[in-house]
Amino acid sequence: MKDFIVESGIPQFRIRVSESDESPVYYYYTQDMLQRDLELDDTEENLKEARQIRTNDSVMVVHTGDLIVNSITGDAAIVQPVHNGFMLTKNFYRIVPNSNLDSAYLLYLLNEDHMIEKEMRRKSNGINSHLISVRELENLRLPKLPSLEEQKIIGDLYLNLKKLTRLKKKNSERKEKVVLAQLKKLYD
Q: pLDDT, tens digit, for every residue of 159-168?
A: 999 999 888 8
User: Domain boundaries in the chain?
Assistant: 4-187
- Mean predicted lDDT score pLDDT of the chain: 89
For residue 125, the model assigns a pLDDT of 53
Amino acid at 176: E
Secondary structure letter of residue 87 according to DSSP: B
Whether the pLDDT of residue 96 is over 90: the answer is yes
CATH architecture, domain 4-187 = Alpha-Beta Complex (3.90)
Q: pLDDT, tens digit, for every residue of 170-181?
A: 888 888 988 888
For residue 133, the model assigns a pLDDT of 87
* 161 touches 40 (CB < 8 A): no
Secondary structure letter of residue 5 according to DSSP: E
Residues near 1 by beta carbon (within 8 Å), at least 6 away in sequence: 98
Q: How far is CA 15 from the centre of its chain?
A: 22
Residues near 17 by beta carbon (within 8 Å), at least 6 away in sequence: 53, 54, 55
pTM: predicted TM-score of the whole model, two decimal places: 0.84
